[in-house]
Structures are given as structure tokens and as C-alpha cells.
Amino acid sequence: MSVRVSLHSPTGSKSFLERGLLLLVILIFLEGTVLTLGAASSPDISAQDNTGGHDDHRGIEGSHVRTNYTKKAFPVLALDYHHIQVPFEISLWVLLASLMKLGFHLIPRLSSIVPESCLLIVVGLLVGGLIKLAGEEVPPVLDSNLFFLCLLPPIILDAGYFLPIRPFMENIGTILMFAVVGTLWNAFFVGGLLYAVCQIEGTYLSQVELLPCLLFGSIISAVDPVAVLAVFEEIHINELLHILVFGESLLNDAVTVVLYHLFEEYSGAGEVTPMDVVLGVICFLIVSLGGIAVGAIYGILAAFTSRFTSHTRVIEPLFVFVYSYMAYLSAEMFHLSGIMALIACGAVMRPYVEANISHKSHTTVKYFLKMWSSVSETLIFIFLGVATVAGPHAWNWTFVSVTVILCLVSRVIGVVGLTFIINKFRIVKLTTKDQFIVAYGGLRGAIAFSLGYLLDKDHFPMRTMFLTAIITEIFFTVFVQGMTIKPLVDLLAVKKKQEAKRSINEEIHTQFLDHLLTGIEDICGHYGHHHWKDKLNRFNKKYIKKCLIAGERYKEPQLIAFYHKMEFKQAIELVESGGGVKLPSAMPSQVSMQNIQPKKLPPAVAERALPQFTKGREEEIRKILRSNLQKTRQRLRSYNRHTLVADPFEDGWNDFILKKQRMIELEKKVRLADSPSLPTWPNSRELQQTTRHKVLSLLTVVNFALNNRTNLA
């Protein structure tokens, strides 16, 4: 009551104090209310202990006995970081990676000097240093399972799904030479010479054996696809060099996996027998071909599933991601090449999936893959920097410096030697500039670090020194070679990638040249890659497309499909750029990119534009066209100027054959008739010559008579 009086008191000096007291009373009241309403009850254990021995006397009276509870304040605000620690830290790392990538592209002058991968590694070093300065233990962020199961698959899937198939297949021989023979050469060259250096007195490395050195050589020799993508996409190198280096980095995975497991298995035994070498070759074939087979199977399954998604367009992109990841996991489960499985899955499924899914789904797949792979690539380089700070390290100047030098020397010798052999079989030769870029672009990355991280400390006591040498080689290739390759490309005036989009004119001429070269191979009787490519295209169109593409879309010619796709893309770009032209609002959003049908003309206009034919007449025209225009697959004899005969389709061919047979028979009869009457005495050359002249004259007369008879007839 006194509070109310003070509130209405006219004294102005006490009003502020009175209001403060009133506010304090209200807060105390509210606190008591919260404690009363939100009390958490817990049983009184002491009361239970006191009544624990009277269970037999619980009856009606025991039902009225209440258990005593202690009141506990309701937590208005609580902190439970451990409950969300893992997803929260993952989100922080992804946010850091995205902000670093955003900041990198906001400074164009910096991006023109330093590659993005170098700056991300520096960011990782700074983050790791700050964690260490704060007195916390640096977490092992670049764990092998995290890298191989979460970070690497998006990058490889993005590369495989959008892989340029034509240049890749045209250079598959060169790529395989660099990937298989080149990787084997690098592994044995680096490992063997490192072992020889370790045996020199004064290096204090005599305890290092041969098989661990070869294992280290197999880890450090493989070109890393993540590092190659990060650097080569910034310098915009031409398509040939890009596909050679990047294709090598993809396909050398099988060689690296086989060598890694082989040397890891036999390092404890101490020797490798010839039978182990044979088994290693067989294992390489199984790992590589098995990975391709697994990826192709999942790619076909994804394409077949997308055939039935016309009514549920929302889940179309999900099948692309899930089937691809299943292909990678299945290959890794059997110790096959997961990278080759992802490449095969993406390359196999893409043409059929894009024919079935809608344009919106295609856009979703494209941008989600680009976003996912970009974030994974950024995290890999940041984690490399953090892992470098985390340590531990065992620095040995001799081992580390010799490793860097041998990797450079082996790469140069391997590329030059293999190119000397390859150029003998290539139409477009690799120049000296091309060889330099291929050799200089052999970058190492996180795959080598993760493989070294997997080594067991008990079996490989030099594991820490190996990891230090691997990190040094990665830093050397990324920082030194990655930062200097762009100025060298400009200095050497190496041809760069053409940014112009492919036009319909180029597509027409490309298909025309393909058919022309296929026809030339048919005429020459040579079964080259154009022949087998044409065979595969025919088989694909006749059988595979019918099973994997929905509706009548598989019948659409490739050129028409490309034209529709390009026309639709140009229309979308025009609308997005604000060109003032709008697409019709009634256009369905679920139309496939390769299934855009032209507008139907009104019946009157259609009758004037195109003549109407009956089905019988139409079939007759098709039969005529098939019989006269589709003879490219006819098997002819090989061309030889000594055995060139007349065209079998010329008029009079049968008469010519008949005359020739008659002349041969007549000549045989004359020889049989004249042979007994020839004189056999010595010096009868003049008589023999006279007889031959008579026979030839007779044959000429008979031939003339036959010709006249034919003409008269």
C-alpha cells in the first residue's frame, strides 16, 4: 500500500527511486513465479531408503504416502555445445571456405598473380596457427576417410559428368601412355634412386629399406586431379593439353592403388617374387577394368531409372547423385578404382539422363555439382594447410630435397621419352612447348597426403618423414609450379582455350567429316577408330537408346537434337540477360532439352507447305533412298592399282565377264591343239615364234568376231 502512495506522490525527486523499487519488487515476484511454476521434481532418495524395508505393509495406507520431491529451477537459457558440435564445426568450415572463395574473387588483381589453391593453403596455415596459439589441439581435419569418402567424390563426379568425351577418346592412347607407363616410370625411378641415396654414408638414412622407398615413390609419383583442375582452369590452357594432363591424373589412380597395396603388402615380407609381379599386373587390370565396369553398370541403371521420372520431376537430380555415389562406394568396397568408377558412371549416364530429365533438373544437377565440387576443393586446400600446422614432422634435408629434385627430373624424362614414342603414331604431333606444359603441369595434391596418412606407424617407422616430404612436394608443385605456369604459358605463347561456343555450322561440318572419314576407311578396307566409332553409334541408336530413353525421343536425329538444345539455350540466355524478348508463359517447364518440338502449323498452311503422300508412296520413297543413299557400310575390296577392275555397277559388266571367259577357254583349246605338232628339234626358235604369231592372230580374229556378233545382237 505504501508503494501505491509513493507512486502518486507529488514529490518529483523521489519518483525515480520509487519506480526503481517497484521494478525490483516485480522482478522478485516474477522470479518466484518461475521457480514455482517451472520446478522440476526429483524423488527424495533418502525417503525411499527409510521406507524400503516396509514393502510388506504397503496396503491401503501405503497408497496415501507421497514421495518427497526436491524442487529444481527450470533452465530458461542453457548451453549444450557438445550436442551440436560436429554439424556446427562442419558448417563453420564450409562457411569459412565459401567466404575465402568469395573474397578471393573480389580482388581480381590478386587472382591474376596467385592461384586460388595457394591462397587457400595459406588460409589453412593461418587457421591452424591461430588454433595452436590459442592453446588448443589442432584437429586432424584431413582424415583419410573424410577425404576419400566425402571430399573427393564430388570433384571427380563433376569432372566425369562434364568430361569432353570426343577429345578424351581421340587422345585415349596418349593419356594411357602417360597414366600407366609414365606413373610406373616415376614410381620406380624416384623410389630406386631414393633408396640409393639413403644408403650413402652421412645421410643417416641407412635404415630405410627398398620396398618402403618404392612405396613412397608410388605415392608421390601420381599426378593429382584436384590440383590440376584448380590450376589449369585458371590459366585457360587449350583443350588438348588440358585433357592430356587431367586425363592422366584421372586414369593413373588404378596404377597408384595397385602399387600402393602391392608394396604395402610385401614391405613386411622383404621380397617380391616374379609371381607377385604377375599378380600385380592382373590386379591392375582387375582394378581398372572392374572400376570402369562398376561405373558403367550404375550409369546404365541411372539412365534407365530416369526414363520413368516424367511424373516426379523433383527427384530427378537425386538419382544422378545417389547412383554416382553408390558406384564410388561399391568400387571402394572391392578395392577397385573409385575414381575410374565415377568417371565411367558420369560419362555413361549423361547423354541418356539429359534426354529424359527436364531442363530445370538439368540446371539443378549442373549447379549443384559445380557448387559441391567447388566447396570440396576449397576445403581440401584449407585442410592441407591446417594439417601442415598440426604435424608432427620429421625433417631431413637430404631426403626432402632429393625427393623434390627426383620428382622434377623423372617427370621431364618420362614426358620427353614417351612423347618421342607417341609422336610416331600421332597425326597431330606434340610440340616442344606442349611437352614442357605437360611436364611442368604434373602437380601433386591431397591424394598423396591421404595415402601417406594411411600408413601404419608400426610397420613404417619412417612414416612421419614420408609425410613431411609429401607435404613439401605438394607445396613446391602448388606454389612454385602453380604460380609460374601462367607467366610461362604467356611467355611461350602457348595456344589457349577458345571461349566461343560451338555453332550449328561447326556441328554440321564435324558430323560431315566423321562420315567422310568413315567412308574413306571403308573404301581403303582399313578398320580405324572412325569405323568402330560408327559401329558403336549405330548399335547405340538401334538398341541402347530404345531401352534408356523414354518415348520417341531416341528417334530424333543428333543434329536436330543439337539444334533444339542450342536454340533453347540461346533463348534462355536472352531472357536472363534482359534482352527484351520473353518466352511464352505457357511453355511447360518440364520439357526435355532434347525434346523441344517445333510448333505445329495450321492445317491450311501445312497443306500448302508440304505435299501429302500416301503411306505406300512414302514407304516407296524411303526404300529408294535407303537403296541408293545408304551404301557406306558395303564391304568392298581394298584399293590396289595393280588389281583395279571395272565398276561392277557399270552397264555391260556381265558381257565383259562372258567375253573374258570365252577368250580364256579358246586360248586353252588352241594351246592343247598346237602343243603336239610343235617341232622339238634343236634351233626351232623361229618356228615357235611363227606358231605363236599365228595363234595370237587367230585369237584376235575370234575376239573381233565375238565383238561384232555382240553389237549385231
Does pLDDT of 589 surpass 50? Answer: no
Q: Are the beta carbons of 176 and 251 closer than 8 angstroms?
A: yes
Amino acid 678: pLDDT: 42
Amino acid 327: pLDDT: 95
Weakest-pLDDT range from 232-241, 425-434, 546-555, 695-704: 695-704
Q: Are 560 and 468 in the same domain?
A: no
Q: Are 476 and 552 in the same domain?
A: no
Angle CA 182–269–465, to nearest 5: 60
Q: Are 516 and 575 in the same domain?
A: yes
| CA gap 222, 180 in Å, rounded | 10
| CA gap 628, 575 in Å, rounded | 45
What is the pLDDT confidence band of residue 561, given thresholds at 50, 70 and 90?
Answer: low
Query: Which is higher by pLDDT, 339 or 268?
Result: 339
In the predicted model, what is the mean pLDDT of residues 288-311?
Answer: 93
For 48-75, write each residue's pLDDT tens digit: 444 444 444 444 444 444 556 677 777 7
- Report for 86-100, 491-505, 568-582, 653-667: range of highest mean pLDDT: 86-100
Does pLDDT of 30 surpass 70? Answer: no
Domain final residue pick, 492, 525, 556 = 492
| CA gap 358, 553 in Å, rounded | 13
| CA gap 229, 377 in Å, rounded | 9
CATH label of the domain that carries residue 269: 1.20.1530.20
Amino acid 712: pLDDT: 41
Domain final residue pick, 635, 669, 689 = 635
| CA gap 65, 420 in Å, rounded | 98
| Of the candidates 384, 298, 369, the residue with the CA atom closest to the CA atom of residue 121 | 384
Is 118 domain-assigned? no
Domain final residue pick, 468, 492, 516 = 492
Q: Are the beta carbons of 328 and 341 closer than 8 angstroms?
A: yes
What is the pLDDT confidence band of residue 22, given thresholds at 50, 70 and 90?
Answer: low
Give the whole-number percent of the chain exceeding pLDDT 70.
67
Does pLDDT of 24 surpass 60? Answer: no
Weakest-pLDDT range from 352-356, 361-365, 590-594: 590-594
Is 112 domain-assigned? no
- Report for 193-207, 548-562, 636-650: range of highest mean pLDDT: 193-207
- Report for 323-327, 433-437, 666-670: range of highest mean pLDDT: 323-327
Query: Which is higher by pLDDT, 40 or 172?
Result: 172
Weakest-pLDDT range from 248-262, 492-506, 553-567: 553-567
Is 424 domain-assigned? yes
Does pLDDT of 139 surpass 80? Answer: no
Q: Are 587 and 556 in the same domain?
A: yes
Crossing angle between the packed helical segments 338-356 and 274-306, to the nearest 10 degrees: 20
Query: Which is higher by pLDDT, 623 or 631?
Result: 623
Does pLDDT of 219 surpass 80? Answer: yes
Segments forming the whole domain that contains residue 528: 504-635
Q: How many helices (H) and strands (E) does the chain have?
A: 32, 2
Q: Are 298 and 386 in the same domain?
A: yes
Is 281 domain-assigned? yes
Q: Are 317 and 409 in the same domain?
A: yes
Q: Are 188 and 335 in the same domain?
A: yes
Coil, helix or strand at residue 72: strand
DSSP state of 357: S
- Tally of domains in the chain: 3
Q: Are 550 and 473 in the same domain?
A: no
pTM greater than 0.85: no
Q: Are the beta carbons of 146 and 330 closer than 8 angstroms?
A: no
In the predicted model, what is the mean pLDDT of residues 6-28?
Answer: 51
For 153-180, write each residue's pLDDT tens digit: 999 999 889 988 888 988 999 999 999 9
Does pLDDT of 236 surpass 50? Answer: yes
Does pLDDT of 649 surpass 80? Answer: no
Q: Are 229 and 258 in the same domain?
A: yes
For 602-613, write each residue's pLDDT tens digit: 554 444 444 555
Is 12 domain-assigned? no
Does pLDDT of 136 surpass 60? Answer: yes
For 464-519, write each residue's pLDDT tens digit: 899 999 999 999 999 999 889 888 888 888 888 776 666 667 777 787 888 888 88
Query: Which is higher by pLDDT, 97 or 153?
Result: 153
Query: Which is higher by pLDDT, 82 or 142?
Result: 82
In the predicted model, what is the mean pLDDT of residues 679-705?
Answer: 51
Crossing angle between the packed helical segments 316-333 and 359-390, to the nearest 10 degrees: 40
Q: Are 471 and 530 in the same domain?
A: no
Q: Which long-range contacts (CB under 8 A, 24 or more apart) does 582-589 make?
A: 589/358, 589/359, 589/360
Amino acid 293: pLDDT: 95
Is 10 domain-assigned? no
Query: Which is higher by pLDDT, 277 or 290?
Result: 290
CA torsion, ordered 420, 421, 422, 423, to nearest 10 deg? 50
Q: Are 218 and 356 in the same domain?
A: yes
What is the pLDDT confidence band of residue 423, given thresholds at 50, 70 and 90?
Answer: very high
Q: Which long-range contacts (CB under 8 A, 24 or more apart) does 59-67 make?
A: 67/43
Amino acid 683: pLDDT: 45
What is the pLDDT confidence band of residue 552, given thresholds at 50, 70 and 90?
Answer: low
Q: Are 558 and 485 in the same domain?
A: no
- Write the Ramachandran bin of 516: left for phi over 0, alpha for psi from -120 to 50, otherwise beta: alpha
The grid coordinates of residue 314 equal 523433383
Does pLDDT of 659 surpass 90? Answer: no
Is 88 domain-assigned? no
Is 450 domain-assigned? yes
The grid coordinates of residue 552 equal 520417341
Amino acid 226: pLDDT: 87
The average confidence (pLDDT) of the chain is: 75
